[in-house]
Amino acid sequence: MSAGYRIENPATGTVEETFDFIADDQLEQTLDTAAKAQAQWAAKPIEDRASVVSKVAALFDERKDELAKIIAQEMGKRVSEGVGEAEYCGEIFQYYADNGPKFAAPQPLEADNGKAMLERRPVGVLLGIMPWNFPYYQVARFAAPNLMLGNAILLKHAEICPKSALAIQQIMDDAGVPAGVYTNVFASHEQVEDIIADNRIQGVSLTGSERAGAAVSAIAGKNLKKAVLELGGSDPYVILDTDDVKAAAKDAWETRMYNTGQACDSNKRLIVMEDIYDEFVAALIEQAQQMKPGPVDSDDPTVYQPLSSKSAAENLAAQIDQVRDAGGTVQIGGSMTGDGAYFEPTVLTDIPRGSDVYYEEFFGPVAVVYAVSSDEEALEVANDSQFGLGGTVFATDVERAKKVGQGFEVGMAKVNSYSAEGAQLPFGGVKHSGYGRELGPIGMDEFVNKRLYFVAD
């Protein structure tokens, strides 16, 4: 049984506030209001919608400090990282406000005996199911392009993020998004199934776990609804060579520790050439030894924050036990600390390929390292995963790195950079990492009716 929507301090495990699930009759009214509001919203010129979306962007930036404090309280994010997340949301909403009319413009097609156009039209009301690890950013990726298109949104947020969900709703209201066009709903899992099945809903977008994605896609498929899924990841981070092993290890470690390791596209598997492997692992252990638990308002990179919840920390501890049972080595860390959701930064090696835990995602401050002896083996290990979100490769010879990067079985391949993100760049994966794309021009091409409009001569 779900504990329901709540603010549960991850540093202490204390439930500080609870929120009721939406009543069934209220949900019925919400769906009806959304359907009517969507028709009116879609009838507005896209330039008018852009004006409202631009105000949403401005409010995310204006309220970034307040927004950051909310998610620090709810899921333990470092305050400075929360500020950056809110700023990025502003960039995403503004990107679609600026470019949406161009992306949605009719496209002339060649045709005999008439004029043909490919139109991009809204499909209706959509359900968004969003996770706790980036409470604002995940919503922005989904909401910004669809509001521009003229779709309406029901947003079911993670049950530990009620306050940030309400803060987003307030931004939408204050920006002038009409009532019913964006509606936060504190829905139960049972109600989510009913929402997807409802004829007033035309699609569902989920960012979350494999398990949640499988459940949602099954319900969507049964009801002939389009789904976009952004699920887990176990991204390879390949280092073929480096002029400075310690610096490379420091970059890899700091990348892995961002958001306390709770990012779908984090560098969860570090694949290192055997000639630098021992020095690299030693440097990672040295980085981990410097880490200490601390408050969310610390900007010290050696201070780590709690995980999102005590249950998340307990699940990670259980995975570390699986690593030991499989014959892997815990070089440092691997345990919960204190009464809340703090988890020691961890370095793992020697996890046997083929073991069950080898194929699992570690969603927390855990770096797993593998030694390889050739570029071919590096690529083989990189692709030996059920996930396919992102992948990164580093080498002093860019052509060598590009060759490995071209072989990644992922949705986002990066060469000599641990980050390649921006509102203009698409995000998404393959295999068990889901399907569909968000952001960039193609972010407006998911929940859209690509209608042929033909007028005979």
Give dist(CA 193, CA 4) in Å, integer: 16
- The type of residue at 167 is A
Task: Give the CA angle between residues 72, 73, 75 to the nearest 5°.
Answer: 65
> E strand or H helix at 83, and its extent?
helix 79-103
Of 185, 153, 138, 188, the closest CA to residue 41 belongs to 153
Give dist(CA 147, CA 444) in Å, integer: 10
- Kindly list the distances between the CA atom of residue 374 and the CA atoms of 118, 267, 273, 275, in Å, as whole numbers in the listed order: 48, 20, 7, 10
By CB neighbour count within 10 A (0-12 exposed, 13-18 middle, 19+ buried), where does 114 fall?
exposed
Of 362, 341, 342, the closest CA to residue 351 belongs to 362
Q: In the block, which residue shows the tokens 């035309």? A: 202
For 45, the 3-state DSSP assignment is: coil
By CB neighbour count within 10 A (0-12 exposed, 13-18 middle, 19+ buried), where does 25 fall?
exposed
Of 298, 410, 304, 452, the closest CA to residue 366 belongs to 304
- Please list the residues that pair with 456 across neighbouring strands: 114
- The type of residue at 96 is Y
> Encoding tokens for residue 5?
């929507």
Give dist(CA 116, CA 1) in Å, integer: 54
Catalytic residue positions, numbered: 230, 264
Exposure string over 281-304, b if 16+ CB within 10 A, otherwise e: bebbbebbeebebbebebeeeebb
Cβ contact 263:133 at 8 Å = yes
Q: In the block, which residue shows the tokens 């073929």? A: 240
Give dist(CA 383, CA 359) in Å, integer: 11
Give dist(CA 138, CA 235) in Å, integer: 19
SS3 of 409-424: CCCEEEECCCCCCCCC
> Encoding tokens for residue 208?
């979350």
